[in-house]
Amino acid sequence: MSDVLLVEKLDGHVALLTFNRPEKMNALNQEVRQALFAALFDLRDDDDVRVIVLTGAGDKAFIAGADIAEFKDARPVDQYRSMQRGNIYSAMEEFPKPIIAMINGYCLGGGCELSMACDIRVASSRAKLGQPEINLGIIPGGGGTQRLPRLVGEGQAMRLIMTGEMVSAAEAEHIGLVEKIFEPENLRDGTLEIARTIAARSPIALQAAKESILAARRMPMDEGLKFERAWFGLLFSTADKDEGVDAFLNKRQADFKGT
């Protein structure tokens, strides 16, 4: 296991992944990206883990962006390829289990892009979010120009990406960049409660929900509705559906197995 990314399996089928370069504000370098890939690869087939939570070590940063030190001598073709081949952001989106970003501080550049590739963003009231690449004379390269407008609308995305300015957690919540805010001291418990609530649902139904919601990005409405209907029908073949319906009818808690 790499020490730039700590992997902990917690109660309630939740895995907590912590970016661990606090002295560099958890800046995202190649080593961290590879460690995240490897961890997701392992967790994908681990039936004991149903929800992933990502956070940053220390109390300052989730991730303060791509490691700018790696930009200094980077060749254009390498930058292009590193974003194309093995794109971690797309891998997270395609990951069959829910991923929650627990944003504990600065969430900038590639960090903000990473949080947008998660399914849900929960932030500390002290967090600051933004896409400051324009200050370096570049633009977001990890999907920021595509995912940000989908979350907050084109105008707000233009404002954030063109000014490069950070927004507070409160403003991020207001524009739809984060879904929930907690005071710093409650962030971990509050986020894990959300994670455990989700992890108690049927894993197959969760995958169906994630794939169907994301399908809306690339499909016109009628195709998306068909896609949803296919998943909806398929779920009627699962033991989890029988369990969920039986639990409701018998006024008991469902125990979903993912089958």
Q: Which residues are catalytic?
A: 113, 133
Which one, 8 or 59, has the nearer CB to ligand COA? 59
Residue 161 interacts with ligand COA (CB under 6 A): yes or no: no
Q: Which range of residues in 60-68, 209-217, 230-238, 239-247 is near ligand COA by CB under 6 A?
A: 60-68
H or E stretch covering 102:
strand 99-103
Which one, 102 or 204, has the nearer CB to ligand COA? 102
Q: Residues 122-151: x/- map of binding to ligand COA (CB under 6 A)?
A: ----------xx--x---------------
Angle 85-150-117 from CA coordinates, rounded to 5°: 40
Cα gap 50→98, rounded to integer Å: 7
Find the binder of ligand COA among 2, 12, 24, 34 (CB under 6 A): 24
Q: What backbone phi and psi angles, to 5 degrees, belong to 120?
A: -140, 140
Q: Which range of residues in 8-16, 64-72, 78-86, 192-200 is near ligand COA by CB under 6 A?
A: 64-72
Tokens of 120: 């849900």
Residue 56 interacts with ligand COA (CB under 6 A): yes or no: no
Q: Work out the burial of residue 123: count CB atoms within 10 Å of its CB; fewer than 13 is exposed, 13-18 middle, 19 or more buried.
A: buried
Residue of closest CB approach to ligand COA:
65
Q: What type of residue sits at position 27? A: A
Which of the 8 DSSP states describes residue 58? Answer: T
Cα gap 221→218, rounded to integer Å: 10
In sequence order, which residues have a C-beta less than 8 Å from that of residue 159 and are 6 or more positions away? none
Find the binder of ligand COA among 5, 15, 27, 204 (CB under 6 A): 27
Cα gap 126→200, rounded to integer Å: 29
Nearest to 89 by CA among 16, 170, 147: 147
Q: Which of residues 190-219 bind ligand COA (CB under 6 A)?
A: none
Q: Which of residues 88-127 bind ligand COA (CB under 6 A)?
A: 106, 108-110
Which one, 98 or 109, has the nearer CB to ligand COA? 109
Q: Which range of residues in 23-31, 49-57, 78-86, 250-258 is near ligand COA by CB under 6 A?
A: 23-31
Residue 4 interacts with ligand COA (CB under 6 A): yes or no: no
Spatial contact of 89 and 142, defined as CB atoms under 8 Å apart: yes
Which one, 119 or 133, has the nearer CB to ligand COA? 133
Output the CA–CA distances (angstroms, integers) from residue 52 to 20, 66, 181, 237, in the order listed.
16, 21, 18, 26
Residue 32 interacts with ligand COA (CB under 6 A): yes or no: no
Which of the 8 DSSP states describes residue 161? Answer: H
Which one, 113 or 228, has the nearer CB to ligand COA? 113
Interface with ligand COA by CB under 6 A: which residues? Answer: 24-25, 27, 64-69, 106, 108-110, 132-133, 136
